[in-house]
């Protein structure tokens, strides 16, 4: 017969009325999210310079996984490295002194290796990651028009396979290179046709492999998109000064939701366009000609960083400008991905994974108990018999082994296992051990097995430990034995459901 049949307690189903109320409450909550504040897409967040007071000719910009900023300073012949924004973008060190002649572009691959386009020597220099000391790994390229040769390289980008895409400006083309194979060329495509696209400068690549290229021309500048093989698809921005129009466009950046950010140098601003799938339509522009917080002078490269940040090389003003974008609540999460728009929640915690952040979710763990009344508001671990929002206490017997058979001289001298009680914790664990004789149980009490009685009335005693528990038992006689454990949660609730996890049988021969 089943052991302790009268002791088994199942968690009751929620009443239908409660389910309906919960559903109605959820529907109301969907409409109760705080709306994101109406704020500008871009906002000025600061600027920085290297030691000496200014960049001589800041050009390309890149960031690594830690948010460090790399700025190619063509005039100084080096790449300056700065800390992340949370660390104040303070200057750390420089790369390439005495080696680089005129660094024009910089890129970081998915292993944080550093690539510098040296327009003065017509080469690409690959360095190891900054945390590894950034030693030189290799150089490749060299002036010329042949495939693999580079004449006046400009800005660059990489893909997931660490292939490098370089704008080869004097040759009016884009080249794909494999740095791991000493810069061996993969392919190239020309951008001069249709006519007037003769000064390619910036480049970006989307997840589908489409390649965006800018033409740094004051009167005929535009941004085009090509397929992965280099075939022209369309123009996404044409010449002009209106929204979505450009003059001398330079740096291009694709953000985490596939929007295109353009450094529109001739118009002294940056622009944001929607993703290619959304038609690359205009979102907003920021900047004006000048040197103040909202001003630019001949800006060049750009890069995004964690924290909804965009860095722009403000070349004419000798600085790098830091912008916050698409982050109305200033929590470092793009509004397009923010799970609680309008409320600052930098951690973006979503305990129940319902795409509603805990900061604006009145029931974080979606257990039907509002956070204010929930003793465990961010966890839902199993049954909740008393409706306090916490999973009920539970224990598990690990030894003796299930249905184990032991020789009398090897009979187990102790029992033990694990226990848990959600966020409230385990206060104690109790154990009951019985020798089963003709359907009745002789319970272990005060160091010995007592006379057989009903199996439905176990005699529990305290085990040692909480999450990991154990108890000594003097099993010496042959026969069938059963063990039951139960955990007590902090606050008093006792484990009340018994199954194969916390009921164990073994035999001694």
- In terms of pLDDT, which residue wins out, 397 or 181? 397
Average pLDDT over residues 263-286: 97
Show the tokens assigned to 162: 């660490």
**Residue predicted with more confidence, 449 or 21:** 449
Cα–Cα distance, 491 to 472 (Å, whole number): 26
Q: What is the pLDDT of residue 411?
A: 87
Q: What is the pLDDT of residues 94-143, one digit of tens each?
A: 999 999 999 999 999 999 999 999 999 999 999 999 999 999 999 999 99
Predicted pLDDT at 38: 53
Across 463-490, average pLDDT: 94
Question: Is 214 in contact with 200 (CB distance < 8 Å)?
Answer: yes
Into how many domains does the chain fold?
Answer: 1
278-293 average pLDDT score: 96
Residue 9 in this model has a pLDDT that exceeds 70: no
Extended beta strands in 274-348, E state: 282-286, 288-289, 295-296, 302-305, 309-314, 319-325
Whether residue 87 has pLDDT greater than 90: yes
pLDDT for residue 192: 85
Query: Is 200 within 8 Å of 191 (Cβ atoms)?
Result: yes
The domain spanning residue 213 has which CATH number? Answer: 2.120.10.30
244 in a structural domain: yes
Average pLDDT, the chain: 90
Per-residue confidence (pLDDT) for residue 356, from 0 to 100: 94
Distance (Å, whole) CA 249 – CA 235: 13
Angle (CA) 255-183-100 rounded to 5° is: 80
For 359-374, what is the mean pLDDT? 93
Instruction: Kindly state whether residue 224 falls inside one of the protein's structural domains.
Output: yes
Specify the range with the lowest mean pLDDT, choosing from 24-28, 278-282, 392-396.
24-28
pLDDT value at 34 more than 90: no
Residue 76 domain-assigned (yes or no): no
CA distance 26 to 45: 37
Split at pLDDT 50, 70, 90, the class of 486 is very high
Report the percent of the chain where pLDDT is more than 90: 83
Q: Following DSSP, what letter does each residue of 18-46 receive, concatenated?
A: HHHHHHHHHHHHHTTSPPPP---SEEEEE
Q: Please list, in sequence order, all residues whose beta carbon lies within 8 angstroms of the beta carbon of residue 25, skipping any fewer than 6 positions away.
A: none
Residue 499 lies in a domain: no
Give how far Cα 113 sits from Cα of 67, 95, 150, 152, Å: 14, 13, 20, 22
Query: Does residue 30 belong to any structural domain of this protein?
Result: no
Average pLDDT over residues 304-309: 96
* 150 pLDDT more than 70: yes
Q: What's the pLDDT score for residue 409?
A: 81
Between 9 and 424, residue with greater pLDDT: 424
Evaluate if residue 1 carries a pLDDT over 80: no
* Bridge partners, 269 (sequence order): 264
| Percent share of the chain, pLDDT over 70 | 93
| Residue 208 belongs to a domain | yes
- pLDDT of residue 14 exceeding 90, the answer is no
Phi-psi region of 20 (alpha: psi -120 to 50; beta: other; left: phi over 0): alpha
Q: How confident is the model at residue 403 (pLDDT cuts 50, 70, 90)?
A: confident
225 domain residue, yes or no:
yes
**Among residues 59, 123, 134, which one has the least CA distance to residue 94?**
134
Domain that holds residue 213: 202-339
Please state whether beta strands 173-178 and 414-420 pair in parallel, antiparallel, or not at all (unpaired): unpaired
Do 58 and 88 contact (CB within 8 A), yes or no? Answer: no
**pTM recorded for the entire structure:** 0.78
Residue 476 lies in a domain: no
- Return d(Cα 437, Cα 480) in angstroms, integer: 8
Could you report the per-residue pLDDT of 319-348, keeping only the tens digit for each? Answer: 999 999 999 999 999 999 999 999 999 999
Q: Give mean pLDDT, residues 434-457.
A: 94
CA distances from 314 to 25, 309, 318 (A): 51, 15, 6
Confidence of residue 448 (pLDDT cuts 50, 70, 90): very high
- Residues 175, 185 contacting (CB under 8 angstroms): yes
Other CB atoms within 10 Å distance of the CB of residue 319: 23
């Amino acid at each position: 017969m089943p052991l302790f049949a009268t002791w088994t307690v199942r968690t009751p189903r929620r009443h239908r009325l409660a389910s309906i109320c919960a559903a109605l409450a959820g529907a109301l909550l969907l409409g109760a999210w705080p709306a994101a504040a109406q704020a500008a897409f871009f906002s000025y967040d600061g600027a920085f310079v290297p030691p000496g007071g200014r960049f001589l000719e800041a050009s390309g910009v890149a960031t690594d996984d830690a948010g460090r900023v790399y700025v190619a300073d063509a005039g100084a012949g080096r790449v300056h490295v700065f800390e992340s924004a949370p660390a104040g973008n303070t200057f750390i060190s420089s790369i390439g002194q005495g080696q680089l002649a005129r660094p024009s572009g910089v890129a970081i691959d998915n292993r944080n290796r550093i690539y510098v386009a040296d327009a003065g020597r017509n080469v690409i220099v690959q360095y190891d990651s900054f945390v590894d000391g950034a030693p030189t790994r290799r150089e490749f390229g060299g002036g010329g028009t042949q495939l693999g040769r580079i004449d006046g390289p400009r800005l660059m980008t990489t893909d997931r396979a660490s292939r490098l895409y370089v704008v080869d400006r004097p040759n009016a083309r884009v080249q794909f290179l494999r740095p791991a194979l000493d810069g061996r060329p993969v392919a190239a495509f020309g951008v001069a046709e249709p006519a007037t696209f003769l000064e390619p400068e910036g480049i970006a690549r989307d997840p589908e492999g489409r390649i965006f290229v800018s033409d740094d021309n004051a009167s005929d500048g535009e941004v085009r998109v090509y397929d992965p093989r280099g075939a022209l698809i369309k123009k996404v921005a044409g010449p002009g000064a209106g929204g979505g129009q450009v003059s001398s466009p330079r740096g291009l950046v694709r953000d985490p939701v596939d929007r295109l950010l353009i450094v529109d140098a001739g118009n002294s601003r940056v622009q944001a366009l929607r993703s290619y799938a959304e038609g690359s339509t205009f979102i907003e522009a920021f900047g004006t000609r000048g040197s103040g917080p909202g001003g630019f002078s001949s800006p060049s490269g750009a890069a995004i960083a964690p924290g909804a940040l965009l860095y722009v090389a403000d070349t004419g003003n000798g600085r790098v400008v830091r912008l916050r974008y698409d982050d109305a609540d200033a929590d470092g999460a793009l509004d397009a991905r923010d799970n609680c728009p309008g409320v600052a929640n930098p951690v973006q915690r979503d305990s129940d994974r319902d795409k509603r952040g805990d900061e604006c979710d009145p029931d974080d763990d979606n257990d039907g108990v509002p956070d204010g009344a929930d003793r465990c508001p961010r966890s839902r671990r199993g049954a909740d018999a008393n409706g306090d929002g916490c999973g009920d206490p539970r224990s598990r017997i690990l030894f003796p082994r299930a249905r184990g058979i032991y020789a009398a001289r090897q009979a187990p001298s102790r029992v033990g296992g694990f226990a848990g009680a959600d966020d409230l914790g385990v206060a104690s664990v109790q154990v009951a051990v019985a020798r089963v004789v003709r359907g009745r149980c002789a319970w272990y009490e005060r160091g010995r097995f007592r006379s057989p009685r009903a199996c439905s009335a176990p005699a529990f005693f305290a085990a040692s430990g909480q999450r990991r528990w154990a108890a000594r038992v003097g099993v010496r006689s042959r026969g069938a034995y059963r063990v039951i454990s139960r955990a007590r949660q902090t606050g008093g609730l006792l484990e009340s459901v018994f199954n194969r996890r916390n009921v164990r049988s073994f035999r001694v021969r």
